Copies of this chain bind each other. A is one copy, B any other.
Amino acid sequence: MSPTLDHTSGGCIAARQILDRVGDKWSIYIVMMLSEGPVRFNQLKRSIEGISQRMLTLTLRSLERDGLVTRTVFPTVPQSVEYALTDLGSTLLEPVSALAQWAQVNSTQIQRARADFDAGAGKADEQEVAGVTRIRFG
């Protein structure tokens, strides 16, 4: 393990804040769709399976507010609006991709752990119980 992992109080707060930002239901989908260049509103809506118009608007506004995406209106008729990652938004892709990669690498292990846990649920004699290796003093 790396000895330089940041698990200080500040690190916790920072982690939570960014997870609040990008941990919602749709943000990463949008960020990843925009990773290759600007995309129009309805293009996003079509390519992100299951997103509602409402949530697409809300999530884009929120990303725009945080300086992660830009919104550009083209006054054509009918109008079209393009969304694109800012430089800041682009840099976010790196740690997010690292997380995604971790997930892909360890997904089978997690699935097995879940299956094992669910299989053993309720069986008291399968629970891990340590012997009394220490006496309480206090």
Contacts and interface: CB of A to CB of B under 8 A. Distances in A.
A127 interface: yes
A76 B32 contact: no
A36 interface: yes
Contacts of A51: none
Interface size class of A (residues with CB under 8 A): 35 or more
Q: How many copies does the complex hold?
A: 2
A55 interface: no
A80 B136 contact: yes
Given A14-B103, A88-B106, A127 B19 contact: no
Interface of A: 1-2, 5-7, 10-12, 14-19, 21-24, 28-29, 32-33, 35-36, 64-68, 70-78, 80, 88, 90-104, 106-107, 109-110, 112-114, 116-118, 127-136
Given A88-B113, A95-B98, 5 more contacts: A1-B93, A5-B35, A7-B33, A12-B29, A14-B104
